[in-house]
Structure formats: structure tokens, C-alpha cells
């Protein structure tokens, strides 16, 4: 009875370093075969257990700079003196296939996307408290004490950007936070402005009506110039 837009949703999940973005998004990805997680490109060195092409694409700074020149990133940012970026081509491809795409990225990058793609969905993941965040950062044991301190200071500034997001989820437990993220995905798919066509179809009477004006629809399309 309704036909919804074929193009996928673009979801931007961010939040301070150490808040648990990857854990929460991985839990949601498991339950959503139609959701695809974008893989970032970075100039930082792989951590132990990190796999090329799964966790990140690891490239040299020279290679990264070349891709900036060629406008191949949807967003990029520096964080702790390393570059991180979202390759455009894959995201556009998946959205056009009708897949929902989730970008798990830092706040700097998220704000760049907000400037460019008005219809993307912005979700901010908060720690239950700053204490918990500090503990998580320390426990992760992947950075030097100096780097942890830097990340923690950055977190304070970043949280001020929260009002620019659409949704906020407090990451008390992975289960509760992923349930909320899932609910946001389900509810966004029910939004009336995602409807392309509404038709009434009965045996007695064939009616076919376009109820949503096309201008509005065009504006809500996600367009990425490649």
C-alpha cells in the first residue's frame, strides 16, 4: 500500500573516544542485514588485532593527502596527529543499492557531513559519566598515558557539540544502547517523508495517487557527488 524510498538511510554515529561506538554499532549490525558499516581510512598504525579492510584501511600520509586532493572523502579529520576519513565511493554505492549505511566517526568529521548532507541522521553516544569514560579509556590500554589524557580533554570539548545531533543515547550497557539505536533505525523507516508513493488498491476500484509532492522528496534525497 505504500512504496518507500529505495535509497538507504545515512546514519552518523559519533561520540567521544572510548564511549563504545564500535561495540554498540557492531551489536546493531548483527541484527540488521540491511545495515552496512563504512570502513574508515587512517594514517595511524594498526593496533594489535586490527585487520586491514575490516577495521580500517591503513594508508600512508602521502596516500591520504593524494586522496584529499582528489576529493575522495565524504569527510576527513585529524585526531591525535593522525588522519581519518570516510571514502565516498563505497558509501554512495551502498546507499544507491538501498542499504542503510552507518558511519562510526569522530565529531569533527560528523559536523562536516552535516554541512554537506542534510538528510543524514546524527546520533551521539554519551558515556554514563565522565568517570566511566576515563576508566574505559584507561582500561582499553591501547594508548600512552599522554594520549589518554588528550582523548579525555577532547571529549570535554566534543560533548558541547551534542545539540547539533538529532538523537542522544547514553551507553549504560551495550544491550540497552543497541536497543535504542535499533529503535531509531526502525522508527526512521516509518517516517512519512520516507514514503515515495501511496496507493489504494481494491478489486472494485483502482486508485493510484501520489500524495507526497516531488519537490519535498527531491530535497530529502541523499546526494553524494562523486
Contacting range for a copy of itself; rule: CB under 8 A; set: 70-78, 97-105, 139-147, 152-160: 152-160
Among 141, 144, 160, 214, binds a copy of itself (CB under 8 A): 160
Task: Check binding of 99 to a copy of itself (CB under 8 A).
Answer: no
Q: How far is CA 147 from the centre of its chain?
A: 24
Task: Check binding of 201 to a copy of itself (CB under 8 A).
Answer: yes
Residue with cell 570516510: 86
**Cα distance between residue 50 and residue 202, in whole Å:** 55
The answer to whether residues 75 and 109 touch, using CB atoms and an 8 Å cutoff, is yes
Contacting range for a copy of itself; rule: CB under 8 A; set: 22-30, 76-84, 94-102, 201-209: 201-209
**Cα distance between residue 100 and residue 136, in whole Å:** 29
**Cα distance between residue 31 and residue 162, in whole Å:** 27
Of the pair 170, 224, the CB lying nearest a copy of itself is at 170
Task: Check binding of 212 to a copy of itself (CB under 8 A).
Answer: yes
Q: β-strands 100-104, 10-14: how paired?
A: parallel
Interface positions with a copy of itself (CB under 8 A): 1-2, 123-124, 126-131, 134, 156, 159-160, 162-163, 165-170, 179-180, 182-184, 186-188, 190-192, 195, 198, 200-203, 207, 209, 211-212
Amino acid at each position: 500500500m505504500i512504496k518507500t524510498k529505495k535509497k538507504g538511510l545515512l546514519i552518523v554515529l559519533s561520540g567521544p573516544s572510548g564511549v563504545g561506538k564500535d561495540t554498540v554499532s557492531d551489536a546493531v549490525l548483527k541484527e540488521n542485514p540491511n545495515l552496512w558499516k563504512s570502513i574508515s581510512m587512517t594514517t595511524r598504525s594498526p593496533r594489535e588485532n586490527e585487520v586491514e579492510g575490516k577495521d580500517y584501511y591503513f594508508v600512508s600520509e602521502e596516500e591520504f593527502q593524494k586522496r584529499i586532493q582528489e576529493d575522495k572523502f565524504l569527510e576527513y579529520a585529524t585526531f591525535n596527529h593522525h588522519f581519518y576519513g570516510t571514502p565516498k565511493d563505497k558509501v554512495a554505492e551502498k546507499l544507491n543499492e538501498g542499504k542503510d549505511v552507518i558511519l562510526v566517526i569522530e565529531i569533527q568529521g560528523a559536523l562536516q557531513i552535516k554541512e554537506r548532507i542534510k538528510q543524514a541522521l546524527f546520533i551521539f553516544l554519551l558515556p554514563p559519566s565522565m568517570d566511566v569514560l576515563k576508566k574505559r579509556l584507561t582500561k582499553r590500554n591501547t594508548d600512552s598515558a599522554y594520549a589518554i589524557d588528550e582523548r579525555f580533554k577532547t571529549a570535554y570539548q566534543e560533548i558541547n557539540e551534542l545539540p547539533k545531533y538529532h538523537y542522544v543515547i547514553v551507553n549504560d550497557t551495550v544491550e540497552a544502547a543497541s536497543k535504542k539505536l535499533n529503535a531509531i533505525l526502525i522508527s526512521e523507516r516509518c517516517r512519512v517523508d520516507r514514503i515515495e508513493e501511496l496507493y489504494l488498491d481494491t478489486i472494485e476500484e483502482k486508485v493510484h495517487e501520489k500524495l507526497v509532492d516531488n519537490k519535498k522528496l527531491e530535497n530529502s534525497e541523499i546526494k553524494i557527488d562523486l
